Each structure stands twice: as structure tokens, then as C-alpha cells.
Amino acid sequence: MIMGAALIVILGAAAGTAYFLLQKSEPKVKGTLVLNGLTSKADVYRDSHGVPHIKAGSIKDLFMAQGYVTAQDRMFQMDLSRRQASGMLSEVIGEKTLPRDQFFRTLGLRRAAEASYSEYSSETKKYLQWYADGVNAYMDQAKEQNTLPIEFLLVGYKPEKWTPIDSLVIGKYMAFDLGGHWEGQAFRYYLMEKFSKEKALDLFPGYPADAPSILEDLKESGLDFDKSFADAVIPNFHNGSNNWVVSGSKTESGKPLLANDPHLQLGTPSIWYQTHLSAPDYEVSGVIFAGIPGIIVGHNKQIAWGVTNVGPDVQELYVEKRNPHNPYEFQYMANWEKADVIKEVIKVKDKPNVEHEVVITRHGPVISEFAHQDKPGTALALKWTALQPSKELEAVIQMNRSKNWQQFEKALESFHTPAQNFVFASTDGTIAYKANGLIPIRKQDYTSLPVPGWTNQYEWSGYIPWDKLPTTVNPEKGFIATANNKVASDSYPYHISDTFAQPYRQQRIVEVMGTNQKLTIDDMKALQFDQANKQAEEMLPILLEQVLNEPLSEKETEVVTVLKKWNKNDSKDSAAPLIFHIWMESFSNELFEDEISEEMMKMFDGREQIVDELIRKAYAGTPGPWIEQNGGLEKVTQKSFSSMITELSDKYGEDLSDWRWGKFHSLTFEHPLAAIKPLNLLFNPDTEEMGGSRITVGVAGWNRETGNITHGGAWRMIIDMSDTSKAYHVVGPGQSGHVLSPWYSDQVKDWATGKYHVTELKTKKEDESRHLVLQPAEEN
């Protein structure tokens, strides 16, 4: 009893201290602060949603102020981002993150960022340095005043100086997160090694013409795939986006409408940071990844633009033959070539440093042994456009300053990775589209498999010429939309990809865009949050037909009745979406769970698309071996139907009124430290039930085990080009990374219910109460 009381006193004192430190570290958003290096004062007005409007007299002062203000709100996030991309998490977290660090050291994003920096113009290097100066000014003040975000205290370290390379490595990480299908190549190689050719090819996105000869060359590689990639970091397969632009001929205002919602990992704070930047000859509003200067997606007074992921095949796995007498030599054209060997030293908290060896062949880093030391006779090396020097920030700055399509398109020449579908609108009425980025041309057709690295037969011969990339300007139909779908017709002369998103989001967007009614901002809002399930429209009749071929139990009849009455909308209050989505998961599990390891399932690129296609083929009378070996479409459907009912009954009971989609499908916006209980109670916003799914336009992707919504459009934007002084935004969960800030989680409810706030290019009278003046030091 006494011990319990003492513990309560100790915990109470600790809580009181923590609250004091939290208050002390809260960013200053009004008054005056001195910022060394400024040439004149910069004004920062935060609006009612915490969006900073930064006004400066020069571009130098603007980027310094942007660095300072972003660090005020997001310093811990910025530091974790650069550490993750650089393979430096273990230094502050410990050996738990060592495999992740080894993976990113092997991949070499920081090496690529360093190589890129030397390619930048002297002007852009200045922008990067000015931004870094602003970040460092914040850190110096926060360290001196002991006001760093409390996360640094909890983890037990202080951030080091920010550099231009840190900004660039975060950009390289975004290229990694938007991927390029290397894991799919590895998975299909694993299929060919483990299963019959017929079973393996059944799970390919298309039949590769060269597969037989390649597979003959690659037999018996000796690679242990489960072991090699157990610790690999695989981006979310569903990373993508929606964007569309509508001509003034189809809008109520008579000017174009543009909408964009990029789909990435959801968390606290948001991956996006919204800002309005203003200086002579430079004004732009939109979002950027915290840690990078400028605005990557948004608008200025003349133009607006949005992005989605093209998802091209910009990565190639090469199977390298190793010299049995020298593990650092690899065969190429009958000769042994020396690989580059980099000795990385990884600092590990409370442990000795770990030496990590990176081997780089002519094609790229060997990634098949990053987590272990045995070296079989073959290895997998990764060639990837993002590991080459590139100058995306040059493009971003030029995009921000563009006034028309010609200038904007010219700016895109420097934007190489990740390849993006850019949609564009301007006040002159132009709407346009370009699938922009560095996309390789191969000597041989793309195979969907790793290729031999010991011959020049499978080298890249160049890149799709920039002026030949898919481009559309002012199409006759009056709109352009992309949702990670196939963007070029079969007659397009270059290969882009074999793996695209399921078509359902694009189908729904085109369905709405094709209406004859005059479209409005409200129509765009409704479409961005639209929860119509086009997959259920296609697949549910097929599935129901199979289960109705056999007598049903009372429970099964009840479930079928719910599905038959369903309006095919993924509403949070309905049982049908829960039943349908868990059924589709169960169908997939019936096919693969017993034969493909959990480690390799995470490499299964395009799994949902392939399962859809297996169902289509089986229903058309041509089932593949995976469905045939499980008894045919009818049996697999019935077994998965039964499994689904058992699972949901166990979780939610026998009463179908408790089987609500929102009960399973809920939104948390988890903080990086929330895994350490009870810090989740401090850092995680309140949970919200939510509708939508992975395949609705209003994307809300979820964790397969928990139902927690982890993926979606953390930022949504809509703009009417008839009035470019404002745009409609929502950033989930909010602008600030400081848990006591009023803007930490104030947009969660809006994000979960499809609401928006207006961000204007002019400040309002009430913004004066949140007016921070950044003042140069007296000697300036």
C-alpha cells in the first residue's frame, strides 16, 4: 500500500516535470526572435490552422525563415527522417534498428545525395545552405534554452547540425518510398526457384517472353531468399495518389479545377508540411516534406499542379557471378571485375560500433546479403535511377516560379526521381499532363525477373527521351485524371511498367469526371472523399455466385443477405464492407498462406491485382494452377467465405449489427514513439472510425492484422483557377509536431470526414495575434 502510494507520487512528479518541459519547448509563434544571418526582417503569420505564411525581403531570408519555422514545428520528425534515410537510427535508438540501418547503408541513399549535391547549380546550393542555416539557428537556440522537443529528451540525445545533404537525402528517401518494383523481381525469382514454371508464371503481372532462357541461365543461384530479405525495408505497395484537372468548359466557374491527394504513410506528425512562401519574384503555397526548401506540390497566382506516382520499372536486379577465389570480383563479359567495397561504421547506442561492408558491382550495391555475411557464388545487385546524381530541387524551384505550361514543363526536365504523373492548370485556361522522370530503355524487353549481370545483353541503353514521355495538353474530353493506373496505350513504343494499381480508383474518377454537369469545388471535395467500391461491383457477383451453389447455414444466409442489399459503398457504419474486404483477404490467404513464407509475402508486388486477375480467369473458365490445386474457384470461394465468417464471429460476436466496417477500420495517426507504452497515450491523437478503403478514391489503407488505417492522402488540395488567391486543404492530423500545440491534431476529424480549410495568399486580421517577427542580429 505504501509502495503503491509512493509510486503514484513519483509518477505524478514525473508527469509534472514532463508537462513543464513540454510547455517550455512549445514553439514561439508571436513576438520577435533574433535570427543570425538574416539581411532584413522576415514576418511569419500562422493562420487559424497553423499554416505559416512567411514573407521576406529576399530569397535568402525566405529560405532561412522556412528552415527555422519548419524546425520549430517538426525538428524531431526532420531528424528521424534524415537518420532513417542515412542508416543512422541505431546511434540514438539502439541495436533494434541495426538491420534497417544496414539496409539503408547498403542501398546508399546518402551516397546518392552527396553525389547529387555536386551536380547542383551554385544558386541552388545557396538555397539549400540558407535553409540549413535557418534549421541550425533554431537548434542552437533550442539547445541553449533547453527547449528542444520532448522526444529528444525521451530518446536521450540532441540533434546534430543540419546540412544541405540532409535535405537531399530526405528527397532520395521519397524516391525510395515510391519504389520501382525490385522486390517484385526478387519475389518472382523466388517463385521460379521454389515452384513449377506454371505456378510461378501464374503470379506474374504478364508473361515475360524471355523468361525461359533467363531462367535457364539463373537456375540454382544458391541464394536464400527468406534469409536475404527478411530484414529488407519494403515500401508500402499502395503508395500512390489521385490527381485530376478539369477544363473550364466543364466547370461552373469557367476556369480549370485541380485536385490532388498524394497517398503515403499516415502518422503523427504528417509527412507533409503546408507553407505559404512570399518574397520578391517568388510566391508559392502548398506542401513540402519537412526538411526540404520550397514547395513540391501546390500553386502560385498563375498555375497549380498535382502529382501521382507513375510507378515505372526504374530498378533492375542483376544476378552477379562471384569469383570463387575472390569474393570481391564479379564476372562480366568473360572477365573478373573488381567491385567497389565501402566500409561503413554504424554507431549503436550503448553498444560497440558495428562495421558494415557494402559491395558495389558495375550495376549497383549487392542487396542480397546486407543482413548476413555468407557469400554464395551468386549475388543480387540493384541498379536504380535514384542512386544516380539528380537535381530535383532545381526543378522544384523552377516549378514554383513558373507562370505557364511552357515554363512548368521545362522545369520538369530536372525532375528525374521518383517519376511522377504531373497534372497542371493555369489561369489562362490550359490543362496539361506529363508522366515525367528518368525511365530506362533496355536492350532486351523487360522480363519481370532479375537478369544476368555477367553479360551486356540486359544493360540499359538509355532513357525514354524527355520529349517522348506521355504528355497531354488541353484534351478534347475536357479532363485529365491519374490514379497510378496504366498511363500509356499499348501502342506506346517504350516500356513503362508491368505493375499498376488496381483500376478501381481511376474508373470511379473517370465516371464522375465524365458527367455533363458543370463541376464545382464541392464536387471535387466529394470525389476526393468518395467511398464507392468499384471492386465490389465487379467481384462480389462472382463470389456470391460461387457460395450460392451450395446450401447455406442460417449465419451464412444472413451474411449473404447483407451483401446483396449493399450499395457498394465502403461506409464506416455498414457491415458489408467489413465482410467484403476480409473475404477478399481470406481468399488470398487460402491460395498462398501454406506455401509462401511470411517473409516473402511482403515482397509480393501487386498481390491484390494478381488475385483479381486469378478470379477473372477462373470465372471465365481458364483457372490457373493456384486456384486449380485448391479445388477450383467455387471451392476456394466457399472455404474463404467460411473462414471469413469464423474470423468475424470470433472478433465481433454472432450479431451482425456489431460487424461494422468502422469498428475494425479506424484511424490513429501513430507517432514514432507510440510503440513505447504508455507514450502512445501522450503522442497519439484520438482514434476515429472511418470509411473508404484501399481501392476507393477516398483512400484509407489499413494494417492487415489490426485494421488501423496507416495509408492515405495525408494532404488533400483543391483549387479553382478562377481565384488563385486561395485553395482548399486538409493535412492530417495537423501542422505541428508539438503535442501541446493547438495544431497538433486539430485536423483529424476534418480529415476523417472529408472537410477542408481555406488557405489564402493574404493574411487576415486575426493572424496578427500569431505574428512572429524574425529579426536580423544588430551587426547585420
Q: Would you state the pLDDT for residue 9? A: 38
pLDDT band of 452, cuts 50, 70, 90: very high
Q: What is the pLDDT of residues 287-297, one digit of tens each?
A: 999 999 999 99
Of the candidates 130, 126, 122, the residue with the CA atom closest to the CA atom of residue 54: 130
Amino acid identity, position 245: V
Task: Tell me if residue 179 falls in helix, strand or coil.
Answer: coil
Grid coordinates representing 243 are 490527381
Q: Would you state the pLDDT for residue 179? A: 74
pLDDT band of 445, cuts 50, 70, 90: confident
Strand partners, 315: 384
Q: Are strands 315-323 and 326-332 parallel, antiparallel or unpaired?
A: antiparallel
Question: Rounded CA gap, 299 and 275, in Å?
Answer: 11
Q: Which residues are catalytic?
A: 241
Q: What is the pLDDT of residues 499-518, one digit of tens each?
A: 899 999 999 999 999 988 99
Strand partners, 719: 258
Q: Would you state the pLDDT for residue 2? A: 41
Q: What is the pLDDT of residues 65-87, one digit of tens each?
A: 999 999 999 999 999 999 999 99
Distinct helix (H) and strand (E) counts, the chain: 26, 30
Task: Tell me if residue 613 falls in helix, strand or coil.
Answer: helix
- 31-177+765-775: CATH superfamily: Penicillin Amidohydrolase, domain 1 (1.10.439.10)
Decide if pLDDT at 310 tops 50: yes
The residues near 570 (Cβ < 8 Å, ≥ 6 apart) are 531, 532, 533, 577, 661, 691, 692, 693, 696
Grid coordinates representing 179 are 519504389
End-to-end CA distance of the chain: 63
pLDDT band of 143, cuts 50, 70, 90: very high
The alpha-helical segments, DSSP class H, found in 195-322 are: 197-201, 211-218, 225-228
Decide if pLDDT at 207 tops 60: no
Query: What own/partner pairs with CB < 8 Å and gap ≥ 24 does 206-212 have?
Result: 206/448, 206/498, 208/445, 208/446, 208/447, 208/448, 208/449, 209/445, 210/444, 210/445, 210/447, 211/447, 211/448, 211/449
Of the given ranges (612-626, 629-643, 710-724, 761-775), which has the lowest mean pLDDT?
Answer: 761-775
Question: Average pLDDT for residues 380-407, to the nearest whole number?
Answer: 97
pLDDT band of 223, cuts 50, 70, 90: confident
Q: Would you state the pLDDT for residue 48? A: 95
Q: Would you state the pLDDT for residue 217? A: 56
Question: Average pLDDT for residues 39-45, to the nearest whole number?
Answer: 97
Q: Would you state the pLDDT for residue 3? A: 35
Decide if pLDDT at 433 tops 80: yes
The residues near 175 (Cβ < 8 Å, ≥ 6 apart) are 386, 417, 418
Task: Tell me if residue 182 falls in helix, strand or coil.
Answer: helix
Task: Tell me if residue 145 falls in helix, strand or coil.
Answer: helix
Cβ atoms within 10 Å of 36's Cβ, excluding its own: 14
Decide if pLDDT at 633 tops 50: yes
Decide if pLDDT at 563 tops 70: yes
Task: Tell me if residue 310 falls in helix, strand or coil.
Answer: coil
Strand partners, 380: 319
Q: Are strands 52-56 and 272-279 parallel, antiparallel or unpaired?
A: parallel
Of the candidates 669, 580, 603, the residue with the CA atom closest to the CA atom of residue 185: 603
Decide if pLDDT at 123 tops 70: yes
pTM, two decimal places:
0.94
Question: Average pLDDT for residues 598-609, to the nearest whole number?
Answer: 91
CB 755 within 8 A of CB 38: no
pLDDT band of 16, cuts 50, 70, 90: low
Of the candidates 579, 572, 580, 576, the residue with the CA atom closest to the CA atom of residue 529: 572
Angle at 310 between CA 308 and CA 312, to 5 degrees: 160
- Sequential DSSP letters for 14-36: HHHHHHHHHHHHSPP-SEEEE-T
Question: Average pLDDT for residues 245-252, to the nearest whole number?
Answer: 98
Grid coordinates representing 74 are 517538426
Q: What is the mean pLDDT of the chain?
A: 93
Q: Would you state the pLDDT for residue 209? A: 53
Query: Judging by beta carbons within 10 Å of its beta carbon (0-12, 13-18, 19+), is residue 494 exposed, middle or buried?
Result: middle
Q: Would you state the pLDDT for residue 569? A: 98
The alpha-helical segments, DSSP class H, found in 391-502 are: 392-401, 405-411
Phi, psi of 599 (to 5 degrees): -65, -40
Residue 313 counted as an annotated binding residue: yes
pLDDT band of 214, cuts 50, 70, 90: low
Of the candidates 177, 156, 15, 159, the residue with the CA atom closest to the CA atom of residue 74: 159
Q: What is the pLDDT of residues 456-490, one digit of tens each?
A: 999 999 999 999 999 999 999 999 999 999 999 88
Q: Would you state the pLDDT for residue 751? A: 97
Decide if pLDDT at 173 tops 60: yes
